Amino acid sequence: MYVRWWLLLIPPFVISFTLVAASQFVFLESSFFKDLGLGRIGDEFVLDNYVQFVTDSFFLRALWVTIKTSGLAALFTLILGFPVAYMIARMRSQWAMILLAGIVISTFITIVIKVYGLIVIFSANGMFNQALLGSGLASRPFSIFGNTSGVVIGLMHFTLGFGVLLLYSIVQTIPKSLEDAAQIHGAKRWRVYYRVIFPLALPGITAMLLMVFNMCMGAFTSAALLGGGRVFTLPVLIQRTVMMDIKYSLGATIAAVLLVSVIAINILSIFLVRRMRAAHLVMV
């Protein structure tokens, strides 16, 4: 007899959908009603909250800071993660599996513990600053608290493991024989990267950059802990608006803007990469 096992999927689907989509809908819908403060919401359909967002330079700057820190974190995750992923993917000993396992495990450590690790290392008299001042390279300690560099470092700390794993799987799809072929036919090492590895990895790199960027756009903990109340990214702002100012519909508006900008940037990036590929700009 044919058993319709998929019917079993319906209850969990309904529960998940209700919890995620319905609550999101209710929350985001409130952004279209006037915020009366102290958690009260008007019943007239208006765009006041959105007008407030786009006319207040504070909100616009927060949007820009969020995009900037997320973009930088994604870029540096690529720059730091690619060599690591490449080495592991090309290793032929069992060390590759051990290193990969280490990265997976470190990815599962909660960001709170990771950030406290950063605080220990980067505090005014921590290891990093003692080495920096001791070597005479700088005369003042380098601080990662309350500035965007700190937030970028914190975000990267959160995404680097994912980034390496994604890049690893991308490099693995590029046969080693293509590198051999490029080398034996005269390509210098950097030319092998430029003409073979990079173009072949490009679709995967784009996906990895977008995933890391999206993770960062929504990241609250590292931004809140390292921003120290001075760097406001949109997730931090949503938390403050909802929890401290008790302005629900304004908080919902910020969330809606965040959501729309993430979707818009993703679509735009995919479109741009398609255009580049079609024009063979990155192929020669």
Q: Does 275 bind other proteins (CB under 8 A)?
A: no
Question: Which pair of tokens denotes residue 246?
Answer: 């008790």
Structure tokens at 158: 């959160």
Backbone region of residue 142 per phi and psi (left: phi > 0; alpha: psi in -120 to 50; beta: other values)? beta
177 binds other proteins (CB under 8 A): yes
User: With CB under 8 A as the contact rule, which of the stretches 108-116, 152-160, 164-172, 176-184 interacts with other proteins?
Assistant: 176-184
DSSP, collapsed to helix, strand or coil, labels residue 147 as coil
CB atoms within 10 A of CB 24: 14
Among 183, 214, 221, 269, binds other proteins (CB under 8 A): 183
| 274 near other proteins, judged by CB under 8 A | no
The conformation of residue 6, written as its DSSP 8-state character, comes to G
Residue 195 CB, nearest distance to other proteins (Å)?
8
**CB of 96 or CB of 265, closer to other proteins:** 96
From the number of C-beta atoms within 10 Å of its C-beta (0-12, 13-18, 19+), residue 222 rates as buried
Give the largest CA-CA distance in the chain: 78
Report the alpha-carbon distance of residue 108 to residue 106 in Å, rounded. Answer: 5
**DSSP assignment string, 187-203:** --HHHHIIIIIHHHHHH
**Candidate list 127, 181, 260, 263; residue touching other proteins; CB under 8 A:** 181
| Residue-wise DSSP of 27-62 | HHHGGGEEEEETTEEEEEE--HHHHHHHH-HHHHHH
Which range binds other proteins by CB under 8 A, 3-11, 60-68, 178-186, 221-229?
Answer: 178-186
> From the list 102, 120, 180, 268, which residue makes contact with other proteins (rule: CB under 8 A)?
180
Nearest residue (CB) to other proteins, 28 versus 196:
196
Q: Please identify which residue in the block is written with the tokens 């700088």.
A: 138
Q: Which of 144, 182, 224, 238 binds other proteins (CB under 8 A)?
A: 182
Binding-site size for other proteins (CB under 8 A) equals: 19
To other proteins, the closest distance from the beta carbon of 85 in angstroms equals: 20
Under a CB-based contact definition with an 8 Å cutoff, are residues 223 and 151 in contact?
yes
Asked if 207 touches other proteins (CB under 8 A), the answer is no
Residue 173 interacts with other proteins (CB under 8 A): yes or no: no
| Binding piece for other proteins, criterion CB under 8 A, among 42-50, 80-88, 181-189, 258-266 | 181-189
Q: How far is the CB of 284 from other proteins (least distance, A)?
A: 7
- CA 137 – CA 131 distance, rounded (Å): 9
Strand partners, 37: 40
Q: Which of 80, 119, 200, 265 binds other proteins (CB under 8 A)?
A: 200
The residue (of 197 and 224) whose beta carbon lies closer to other proteins is 197
Q: How many CB atoms within 10 Å of residue 26?
A: 10
184, 244, 278, 279: residue in contact with other proteins (rule CB under 8 A): 184
Which CB atom, from 40 or from 188, has the smaller least distance to other proteins?
188
Where along the sequence are the contacts to other proteins (CB under 8 A)? 175, 177-178, 180-188, 191, 195-196, 199-200, 283-284
